[in-house]
Structure 1
Amino acid sequence: MPRLFTGLEIPEDVAFDLFLMQGGVSGARWIHRDSYHITLRFIGDIDDALAREISLELEGVAARPFRLQLAGCGVFGGNKPHALFAAVEESADLRRLQFTHERICQLLGLPPESRKFAPHVTLARLKDPELRSLHGFLASHSLYRSRPFDVDRFVLFSSRPSRGGGPYAVEEFYQLQAGL
């Protein structure tokens, strides 16, 4: 039974810049740069037949290539932070693509995603982080901006059930079509 999700890959040079940020936060388990991605839709553990149906439906997604940029850093978890991330600048094209993935999953019988879509790249998982070092990291990277990068495909990823995810494997990729 595969554990699947759809997402966008991060260009190597942008991933390297994010990798250089690692460090200085007590209680952080840093994500390997090969695992950086932007999740579009977590699908979860499903049977092979449903995985094939989802893959077929994703082939029919009609979307144009677009540009993205990462901007700033933040945490999930409020007063008990559990993840440190690089944020994604607002993009209507990204939101449309994510909505299409959500709609496909629901049409194939999966429950709606319970969390609001908040595009990001997870940099570290946090366990009882030392708040002073975490706030220092956030302050020193608040003005971070990646170079703008082109998104010309999305990916169906698989992962093994593990703490914090990864390593991830590309099961399929789907090209976005210029001229739509």
Structure 2
Amino acid sequence: MIRAFVGLRIPDEVTRELVAFQAGLPAGRPVPPENLHLTLAFLGEHPEPVIEDAHHALSGIRSARFEVSLHGLDLMGGSRAQALGILAEPNPELAALNGRVRQAARMAGIELGRERYTPHVTLARFARIPGGDDGQRLRDFTARGASLRAGPFLVESFFLIRSWLGQSGAIYDDLAEYALG
């Protein structure tokens, strides 16, 4: 079985900006720089032939290159937030690529959830949202981050990425890259 997702890699200069911001996190486990990405679709865990079918379907996606800008922090997951992310600014090209990726996954026989797509880069994860003073520091940090900006950056490709879950977090391995433009 292969656990995989489709996403955008974050360029080095934007990664440096995000890592500098992570340095002030009052709580949570920062996402390592090499794992910072913007998910287009989480495919889940499937047998290798299904992931190969997804690869072939993803290979057929055609899209122009486009820019993405990141702006503002949000606790992801509502009242039971498990992550802190920086949001992608609304972008019709990004939304269209997400739609094409989801369609390719369906063509490969992968059923995806119906949740609303909120493009973001996860900066930190929480076992649970801290309470008390730690919780207040996190809420203050998130409020201060409302004006945080990173990018823009040019999206020239997207990736099929394998996710290995380990004791100290996920390890990502690029399975395929798909050029845009």
One fold, TM greater than 0.5?
yes
| Superposed counterparts of 1:95-174, under 5 Å | 95-126=95-126, 127-129=128-130, 130-162=134-166, 166-174=170-178
Please, which runs of 5 or more residues in structure 2 have no aligned partner?
Answer: none
Corresponding residue for residue 38 of structure 2: 38
Task: Please say if residues 43 and 112 of structure 2, whose CA atoms lie closer than 8 Å, have aligned partners that are also in contact.
Answer: no
* 1:8-87 superposed matches below 5 A: 8-87=8-87
- Higher normalized strand content (fraction of residues): 2
Runs (4+) of structure 1 exceeding 6 A deviation are none
**1:15 to partner: Cα distance:** 0.7
Deviations 1:126-155 (A, max 9, x none): 223222111111122111111211001000
Which 10-residue stretch deviates more, 12-21 or 128-137? 128-137
Looking at structure 2, the residues matched to 173 and 97 of structure 1 have their Cα atoms a distance apart, in angstroms, of: 14
Give the secondary structure class of the aligned counterpart of 1:98: helix
Equivalent position SS for 1:63: coil
CA–CA distance in 2 between the matches of 1:44 and 1:144?
31
Contact 2:71–2:86 (Cα < 8 Å) also in 1: yes
Q: Which runs of 5+ in 1 are unaligned?
A: none
RMSD of aligned C-alpha atoms? 1.6
Figure out how many residues of one structure are paired with residues of the other and give that number: 177
Provide the rounded CA distance (Å) in 1 between the counterparts of 2:168 and 2:81.
14
Bigger helix fraction: 2
**Aligned-partner Cα distance in 1 for 2:2–2:108:** 16
